[in-house]
Chains A and B, each alone.
Chain A
Amino acid sequence: MHTLISQFWQLTFSGAVQGFIYILISLGYTMVYGVLRMINFANSEIFMVGTFATIVVSRDILGHQPNSGDLHGFTLIYSMLFCLIASMLASGVTAVIVELVAYRRLRSRGTNRLAPLISAIGMSIVLSESVSLLTAGRATIAPEMLHKSSLFTILGANIRVDQLLVFIVAPIMFFGLQRFVNHTRLGKGIRAVSMNEETAKLMGVNLNRVISITFLIGGLMTGAAAFFFETVYEATKFNIGFNIGIAAFTAAVLGGIGNIRGAFVGGLTLGLLETYASAVLGSQWKAITVFIVLVLVLLVRPNGLFGEAIQQSRV
């Protein structure tokens, strides 16, 4: 309890940073759920692919080494941008492949709801095991591109460069996505499908295309989260997506799955909650605290904090 009070702002800041990463991943769950009413079980592996893409690009293509020292100026900016784009693309493409392989056939056939879930689980095993074979199951260290120096102190909280980057860029991406869904033609298609698939089809919406794009967007956001995760933590492993995927899924449900604004609130709440719980009870109990809070929230509001679907989300 003492740590919580004495370091409140520090914890709040790092919790918010963690929360922003969760928000971006939970978009991968929430977008897909919004249009398909199905859990995208492979999203955690889509995240994992993104973390590896970040490392492969920065280490093997740009040639940065874990001990080669920090980058400055223009090199730093283009390296980071390049890694961000690579991570987003890798995750986005993986998400589209997952949709093609695990969902499309089953969806067009209109079978029971669990069949796509199991084939998505199969896809997620395939993805993580392939990476495990390629990396011999070992952890991979990312080159340090951004030196983690503390920039300034507010209210006793040390603000680090990498955290500040997440703190600023992640919300921009989130609001960009929200604008996209609410104000573009494609976004309109996504909302139409999430309201009523059959009617949307009759109105001339290309269902397969909209669903692919939804997966792509979810994947892009998850990939961005993977890049931010690597910037802050600088290591990955074939099974890294598992825990963080569960957390992000919890965040999506907490906010009301299928709801974009809910993902924001849910992710932020979860990040803060985890950090506070670690400070008060010790980090080994944080997952339990989160789940207990989730159960309590669902008991009061059975559809999450913002229990509405994509179509009702307004800016």
Chain B
Amino acid sequence: MRTTNSLRNFNVRDKGAAIWSGWNRLQRTSFGIAMILLAGALPFAGNYSFSNFLNTPISNFADVLIYPVGMFVLMSLGLNIVVGKSGMLDLGYVAFFAIGAYTMAICGKWTHLNTWEILPLGIAFAMIAGVLLGIPTLRLRGDYLAIVTMGFGEIVRITALNTQKIGGPNGMANVPNPPSIHTPLGVLDFNIMTPNSFYWFVLVLILLTIWMIRRLSVRRPGRAWEAIRQDEDAAELMGVPTLKYKIWSFTLGAGVGGAAGVVYASKTLYISPDAFTFNISVLILSCVVFGGIGNIWGVVLGGVFLAYLPERIRFISNARQLVFGLTLVIIMNFRPDGILPRKKREKLSSPAIETGAK
């Protein structure tokens, strides 16, 4: 028991935070830029002998970095706003991903809009769906909310499956790629031959999302979500308009999912309802909890790890899902708060919520 005890108490997050708080502004900025550059250089990692252990057999490494890795990280961050920040269990997050993807496919094929113009549209539609779903259902608590959101995910998928106009079970093919971007350094093409530029675009979206969450967390909405997560009744009594902030959290999460959907559709060129099953919602939730619920860096790590693992071990083709399941069970048993848990201080102050006391 002793070894597991020390394993549990070993908190990478607090260690990291301690080092971080000891740094001055210059050190922080340079570390941040270095990390971003490192992340930006990842698609080249497969080409060099010192880093090619990262390479995924069978699938193309740069493609894997976009889907699933980049998409999963982006969606995990979005779901983290809902599940991690404000403590609502959403099992239908894939619905917003699907709405974004179908917006891209429909607008891209039937109108003259390009991906950059559709992106805000996709985000807007996903957010509208979030509001429409949120207003009636966010009054529900806990597991009832979970099943209603799960139902919503299935409703979106089944509707897509049964609507012949948008391809029904065959899905939609020939979704247009984004047009090229002219930058001072050269032209960024977006087509099937240039996964790197897609990856950088996803990276930019991820960074924007992280920035948004960090800004919101330290302001009024973040504090309201924190209060709601710890004790909804107390928050309401203290004058926090809980329903309003819950809908906000839900809607922002939905918007991030919608953005991911737009990028996904214009990258893969082909979408079908099979890509938006309940399993994806569960996987994204697993990324959030596995990495460290509520902590941005933990969630990023969880998304990277759980999306990358099945691709990395693709050579054991049939058994890879089995290994994936075993990993979930084992890691959750040894580190129930995830790999990088949120600050201990926050946890100690809310024993009732965290332990699920009745």
Contacts and interface: CB of A to CB of B under 8 A. Distances in A.
Interface of A: 33, 37-39, 101-102, 105-106, 109-119, 121-126, 129-130, 132-133, 196-197, 242, 246, 249-250, 253, 257, 284-285, 287-288, 291-292, 294-295, 298-299, 302-304
Given A111-B354, A115-B336, A130-B322, A288 B278 contact: no
Nearest to A304: B144
Contact of B148 (A196, A284, A294): A294
A113 B353 CA distance: 8
A122 B321 CA distance: 10
B141 interface: yes
Nearest to B288: A114
Given A119-B328, A119-B329, A257 B143 contact: yes
Q: Across chains A and B, which 6 residue pairs bring their CB atoms closest together, nearest first?
A: A122-B328, A125-B325, A291-B151, A111-B336, A115-B336, A126-B325
Nearest to A249: B147
A246 B91 CA distance: 12
Contacts of A116: 332
Contacts of B83: 114
A118 B318 contact: no
A291 B154 contact: yes
Main secondary structure of the interface of A (DSSP, over half): helix
A121 to B, nearest CB: 6
Given A122-B328, A129-B325, A302 B355 contact: no
B147 A294 contact: yes
Interface residues of B, number: 46
Interface in B325-349: 325-329, 332-333, 336-337
A119 B290 CA distance: 9
B293 A122 contact: no
Contacts of B144: 253, 257, 298, 302-304
Interface stretch (B158-166, B178-186, B196-204, B209-217): B158-166
Contacts of B113: none
B139 A302 contact: yes
Given A39-B146, A129-B325, A197-B358, A119 B332 contact: yes
Contacts of B159: 288
Interface of B: 83, 89, 136-137, 139-141, 143-144, 146-148, 150-152, 154-155, 158-159, 161-162, 278, 282, 285-286, 289-290, 293, 318-319, 321-322, 324-329, 332-333, 336-337, 354-356, 358
A253 B140 CA distance: 12
Contacts of B332: 106, 115-116, 118-119, 122
Nearest to B354: A112
Given A111-B337, A129-B322, A295 B358 contact: no
A285 B151 CA distance: 13
A109 B136 contact: no
Contact of A38 (B137, B328, B333, B356): B356
Nearest to A118: B289
Contact of A115 (B158, B289, B318): B289
B148 A123 contact: no
Given A37-B358, A106-B332, A122 B326 contact: yes
A112 B328 contact: no
Given A284-B158, A284-B162, A102 B136 contact: no
Contacts of A114: 83, 89, 285, 289, 293
Nearest to A98: B329
Nearest to B8: A109
25 contacts: A110-B355, A111-B336, A111-B354, A112-B354, A112-B355, A114-B83, A114-B89, A116-B332, A118-B286, A121-B325, A122-B327, A122-B328, A122-B329, A124-B325, A125-B328, A129-B319, A133-B318, A284-B162, A285-B162, A287-B155, A288-B159, A291-B151, A291-B155, A302-B140, A302-B141
Contacts of B151: 250, 291, 294-295
Nearest to B147: A253
Given A114-B285, A125-B321, A287-B158, 12 more contacts: A38-B356, A115-B289, A118-B285, A122-B328, A123-B329, A125-B325, A126-B325, A129-B325, A133-B319, A197-B358, A284-B162, A302-B140
Given A118-B285, A118-B289, A125-B324, A106 B358 contact: no
B358 A246 contact: no
A123 B83 CA distance: 22
